[in-house]
Amino acid sequence: MPKTQEQTFGHASNKKPYHAKNHVEKGDTLIYALGGLGEVGKNMYCYEHENEICIVDCGVLFPGDDLLGVDYVIPDYHHLIRMNKKRKFLVITHGHEDHIGGIPFLLKQVQIDAIYAPRFAKALILKKLSEHKGLEKTKIIEIDENSSITTKYFKVGFFNTIHSIPDSLGVHITCPNGSIVHTGDFKFDLTPVGTNADYQKMAFIGVTQPDLLMSDSTNSGVEDFSISERKVANEIQDIMRKTKQRLIVATFASNVHRVAQIIEAATKFGRKVIVFGRSMENVVDIGRKMGTIKVKNSDFLSPEELAHTPDDKVCIICTGSQGEPLAALSRIANGTHRFIHLKPGDTIVFSSNPIPGNQSSVNRVIDNLFRSGATVLTKSILNNLHTTGHASKEEQKLMLQLVRPTYFMPIHGEYKMLMQHRQTAMETGIPKENIFVCANGDILILRDHKVLQSDWRYQGDDIYVDGNDISGLSTAVLKDRRILADNGLVAVILAIDSKENKILMRPVIVSRGFVFIKDSQGLIKEAEYIVNNSLQEKMKEKTTFSEIKNCVRSTLEPFLYKKTHRNPIVIPVILNSKQTMEELQKNRKSFHARKPRTKTS
């Protein structure tokens, strides 16, 4: 029913004006994500109260094949830039790229008072910032499960969680309107490698009755408990013991515990270790400094020593488990690696699962490895070569039961994953009206221990980063790249005399990635003839350069599509100089005078 004037403005001067319950009021705490909802990557969650914003994580998303030439996808920081007068501090849950990769881009645009990060993440962030001039002196404060951050409006505490990287933390945020638990990435492993999850602290937080739980949704569709990392360690040791030839293991560089297990297994069975791949080398270096990876210098091989070491004494650890074209394993498979050339009998172990969308790339690499005579081992129902770092459905239920929130918001996952997590929460007893499946930019209002969804939202777009350019590529640029990739380019070179308003010579058409010129001379000449006739008509009256270009496009584009069913980018190039025209005409005559080469056997 529409609101009446009395409902909207109040019917007496001594009464408070009416407010819609979903309208943001002074004193509300706002909760919103700028990245991480409807996607797996670029996690960034904000908690805003009055003039303070607590930001949890600042990640990147690695682009798919459809984003041509894009290096990273980052959140749109426009709202935080507009709020630059508000005090902002950044809390990091762990050191994976989808949680820390956006920090350099954020710091270049937004004033951040301090970054609070666990030990391993801090080391990775320092390494990252050292590559960006001017960011080396950023204030980074190390935190652990016993740390607390107290500001005017927020009190932030932490609890240990288990993930595939050391020093992974969950976050407990208390503000004037209530409390929020943010899990970060987590799983439950009853026989973990490294620090155990702090079940007691999670249960204690549950006793305090937090208002909102925001929980990792990545594996919402996976039944049962995930495999323990200990089982993976045993499987790797078994392979090390049985393999009598050279061993190459590919895994995620970010899975530090796995890398540590591989190195420990190798040294246990008398193998020397060599590491390839920049990210893998960085992680091993930091892991050794942190004490997470325990190995002596004498257990490592240099590239020069590799050729002179017996095969059964070698373990190569490398990047490329996702089929990345430039990663070490892809170059090994293609025979282009500087130091490693495959031999029959080599055993390659994929201690990973293909990320959705990477399956075809991984299969190509595996096929090339088999062609070289190598034995390839991948995760299957017959082995435990990999386990996830994210909670499955049963582990998500355990988190919900430990924390016992009044309201729930699934985070960190594609829309399907968020909806599956919603169903899991309902199964544990949370009413469906208390569950919020949001998109990036949607705003939840925490008001006096109640959570509402606002009727307005912030901008939550993607920014496409090419190199280190944080201005972002527009969608028009990406559209042009797709057209170039699919249909190529046609340039039309026009020679005109603007003073006399006439064409000095017939247009010259050059194409790249559209048709093979030598086999399409007839098509090119016909296109030149049609464009020339159209321009002759156009030049009978006074015109502008812009109108000439539009005339070329509107004439040539439909003609080329009719003939080839392809839409190349058409670029008119206008040369307005008689001398240039004469040189162009001379070159054109010599080009047409050349006979096409014939194929020889």
pLDDT at position 590: 63
Using CA atoms, how far apart are residues 593 and 299, in angstroms rounded to an integer?
68
pTM: predicted TM-score of the whole model, two decimal places:
0.79
pLDDT at position 178: 97
Residue with tokens 């009727």: 455
- What residues are designated binding site for substrate? 253-255, 386-390
Check: CB of residue 217 under 8 Å from CB of residue 411. yes
Residues 428-446 pLDDT 10s: 999 999 999 999 999 999 9
Q: Mean of the pLDDT values across residues 257-264?
A: 92
Q: Mean of the pLDDT values across residues 218-232?
A: 90
Quick one: which H or E segment has residue 247?
Answer: strand 247-250
C-alpha gyration radius of the chain: 30
**pLDDT at residue 599 greater than cutoff 50:** no
Q: Which of 76, 216, 346, 462 is catalytic?
A: 216
Q: How confident is the model at residue 13 (pLDDT cuts 50, 70, 90)?
A: very low
Check: CB of residue 286 under 8 Å from CB of residue 123. yes
216 as an active site residue: the answer is yes
Using CA atoms, how far apart are residues 164 and 527, in angstroms rounded to an integer?
59
The values of phi and psi at residue 571, to 5°, are -120, 105
Residues 139-173 pLDDT 10s: 999 999 999 999 999 999 999 999 999 999 999 99
pLDDT at position 588: 59
Q: Which of 390, 421, 442, 462 is catalytic?
A: 390
How far are the Cα atoms of 325, 381, 557 from residue 229, in angstroms, in the given order? 28, 16, 58
Of 64-73, 268-277, 508-517, the range with the lowest mean pLDDT is: 64-73
- Other C-beta atoms within 10 Å of 487: how many? 18
pLDDT at position 264: 92
Using CA atoms, how far apart are residues 432 and 155, in angstroms rounded to an integer?
29
- What residues are designated binding site for Ca(2+)? 69, 71, 466
Domains in the chain: boundaries: 28-224+389-461, 229-377, 475-592
**pLDDT at residue 598 greater than cutoff 60:** no
Candidates 156, 52, 41; CA nearest to 112 is 52
Candidates 79, 74, 72; CA nearest to 32 is 79
Start-to-end CA span in the chain (Å): 83
Return mean pLDDT, the chain: 87
Task: Report the CATH number of the 229-377 domain.
Answer: 3.40.50.10710
Task: Report the CATH number of the 475-592 domain.
Answer: 3.10.20.580
Four-way CATH pick for 28-224+389-461: 3.60.15.10, 3.30.70.1450, 3.40.50.300, 1.10.1760.20: 3.60.15.10
User: Helix, strand, or coil here: 530?
Assistant: helix
172 as an active site residue: the answer is no
Q: How confident is the model at residue 22 (pLDDT cuts 50, 70, 90)?
A: confident
